[in-house]
Amino acid sequence: MSSGGYVPGSQLAVVEVHGMALLPASTPDDVLAAVRAALGPAEPDGERAAVLLEALTLGTRLSNLPPFAVAVLAAGRVDLLVRGHYRAVVTAPRPAQVDGLHVTSWREESVDAPTLVELVELVELARDDDGSGRTLTLDRGVALAASVRLALPPTGLERELGVVPAAELGPAAAELVPAVGGTDDIPVVGSALELTRSGETVAGEPGIETAEQLVTGVPGAAAGPVPNRGGDGSGETDYGFLWDHTVVHDIEHAAVRAPAHASDPAPGPEASAGDHDGETIHLAELLGSPPAPVVPAPSGSGVLSRFCAQGHANAPHAVACGTCGGPFVGDPKLGTRPALGRLRLSSGATVDLDRTVILGRRPQASRVEAGDIPQLVAVGGREISRSHLELRVEDWNVLAVELGSRNGTLLLRPGQPPVRLVPNNPVPVRAGDQFDLGESIIVTAEDVP
């Protein structure tokens, strides 16, 4: 069973059966009640994170969203949602620290096998930099706090990794662990470089893989032993020029020749004149063109994701695969994000939300991030501005941004009155949202998670 505690302060700390939250003192009572209910025993496990986000963001512009920090306990892991001047610190076999600074929406992360989770408010943390704040018990309820924490019992995974409380080891643990006084006698290791200067060889350490183990994990690597760096003395090898001695080659080795059957490629058709920027997709082309092939993301790019056994990527806070319903395997890692739904134009054409989309009469991208070139879709006539509306794909969120158009954009959300979007103010998009650009052009968001 988990045990909770808090350091008194000015924030609202909520501790319930399935998690905790740290919120501003100005949080309305109905939102506070909804957060407590979402973390309570009545809410189904798979829906807690979604219900919490619904309670914290419902009917609020993104720029007006309050800061928050939420930790949702699930089977063997904790899901973190952090926005603004809060920080979540998790003690685990793979510890994590997440804050909500410098993001448009919020940060999400899942950590497996946690033993201690702490939510802190950064301003009050700076005031209490010596850590002298008194910790009081709070196993369930609401209190005014600067920080709140939950200590969790070790899971099966933690026991496999050897993370077991000393109290469970019995009296013998006291003999194995000497009393610790000051830290002056503890040697400090400055860097990995200093470790290697002694000339000693580190061998047999757990977690240090041999060269053969590393090679077998590389796609396309040949099986068999790794070549000896120093050679066996039998003569030059194909990799001789890499080693510590000079190898003399014949001058023919330096010659550069074209392949025997190389031929000059046939000249392609000349580019047609005009002012097309090469990125804009006109509506007629969108209706008449076949589906574009799926292009994998460049190596090293991606978003933090959880994966099922079939390799489907999901948001870090998801509890099961949204594609096949299967459980997740392994820890969250960077992966290629699938399309977060699609846009359906009033003409019937669709545009996948696999990257940011800019709609307008002659749209242009004012901001381009590495690996995320916006898709430009031309719609409408003179009543539509050149760059009218942006549907921004950011991590696992889709945000609508009105680009200061001449006639504005109306958000038509089912069950709510129409709302005119404020220019340059991101608004979270939900499935079923419709955007009225004018000239009877309505864009509908479909299958947005």
Does one domain contain both 288 and 406? yes
Check residues 282 and 130 and name the one with the higher pLDDT: 282
CA 13, CA 124: separation in Å to the nearest integer? 13
Whether 388 is covered by a domain: the verdict is yes
Q: What CATH number is given to the structural domain containing 69? A: 3.60.40
Question: Of 110, 140, 156, which residue sits at a domain end?
Answer: 156
Does one domain contain both 432 and 371? yes
Strand 77-91 versus strand 107-112 pairing type: antiparallel
Q: What is the pLDDT of residue 207?
A: 44
Does one domain contain both 286 and 150? no
Q: What is the pLDDT of residue 279?
A: 57
Q: What is the pLDDT of residue 59?
A: 61
Does one domain contain both 135 and 9? yes
Does one domain contain both 321 and 367? no
Whether 93 is covered by a domain: the verdict is yes
Q: What CATH number is given to the structural domain containing 398? A: 2.60.200.20
Once rounded to an integer, what is the mean pLDDT over residues 365-385?
Answer: 80
Residue of 93, 77, 74 whose CA lies nearest to 161: 93
Whether 326 is covered by a domain: the verdict is yes
- How does 111-149 read in b/e, with b if 16+ C-beta sit within 10 Å? bbbbbebbbbbeebbeeeeeeebeeeebeeebbebbbbb
Place 52 in a pLDDT band, splitting at 50, 70 and 90: confident
Residue of 130, 168, 144, 139 whose CA lies nearest to 26: 144
| Poorest-pLDDT segment among 14-28, 102-116, 149-163 | 149-163
Whether 219 is covered by a domain: the verdict is no
Does one domain contain both 290 and 316? no
Q: What is the pLDDT of residue 232?
A: 45
Does one domain contain both 10 and 45? yes
Residue of 443, 277, 252, 448 whose CA lies nearest to 376: 277
- Percent of the chain past pLDDT 90, that is, above it, reads 35
Provide the whole-model pTM: 0.43
pLDDT surpassing 90 at residue 443: yes
Residue of 75, 92, 112, 97 whose CA lies nearest to 163: 92
Helix (H) or strand (E) holding 303: strand 303-307
Q: What is the pLDDT of residue 287?
A: 54
CA 447, CA 400: separation in Å to the nearest integer? 15
Whether 393 is covered by a domain: the verdict is yes
Does one domain contain both 33 and 8? yes
Once rounded to an integer, what is the mean pLDDT over residues 417-425?
Answer: 91
Question: Of 156, 187, 210, which residue sits at a domain end?
Answer: 156
Check residues 151 and 165 and name the one with the higher pLDDT: 151
Task: Extract the tokens encoding 159.
Answer: 């026991």
Whole-number CA gyration radius for the chain: 29
- Percent of the chain past pLDDT 70, that is, above it, reads 62
Q: What is the pLDDT of residue 5?
A: 92
Whether 243 is covered by a domain: the verdict is no
Q: At what angle do helices 29-39 and 48-57 cross, to 10 degrees?
A: 170
| Cβ within 8 Å of residue 39, ≥6 positions away | 14, 16, 17, 18, 19, 20, 21, 48, 52, 72
Q: What is the pLDDT of residue 322?
A: 84
pLDDT surpassing 90 at residue 55: no
Helix (H) or strand (E) holding 30: helix 29-39
| Poorest-pLDDT segment among 190-204, 236-250, 273-287, 321-335 | 190-204
- Rounded to the nearest integer, the mean pLDDT of the chain is 74
pLDDT surpassing 90 at residue 228: no
Question: Could you give the number of structural domains in the chain?
Answer: 3
Whether 210 is covered by a domain: the verdict is no
Q: What is the pLDDT of residues 259-306, one digit of tens each?
A: 555 444 555 444 444 455 555 565 555 555 555 444 444 433 478 888
Check residues 129 and 324 and name the one with the higher pLDDT: 324
Once rounded to an integer, what is the mean pLDDT over residues 301-319?
Answer: 85
pLDDT surpassing 60 at residue 407: yes
Does one domain contain both 123 and 52? yes
Q: Tell me if 8 sits within 8 A of 134, measured CB to CB.
A: yes
Q: What is the pLDDT of residue 214?
A: 42
For residue 317, the enclosing domain spans 302-335
Once rounded to an integer, what is the mean pLDDT over residues 45-66?
Answer: 77
Does one domain contain both 311 and 397? no
CA 252, CA 48: separation in Å to the nearest integer? 69
Does one domain contain both 422 and 330? no
Once rounded to an integer, what is the mean pLDDT over residues 182-205?
Answer: 41
| Cβ within 8 Å of residue 222, ≥6 positions away | 215
Q: What is the pLDDT of residue 126?
A: 60
Does one domain contain both 418 and 442? yes
Whether 202 is covered by a domain: the verdict is no
Once rounded to an integer, what is the mean pLDDT over residues 137-156?
Answer: 87
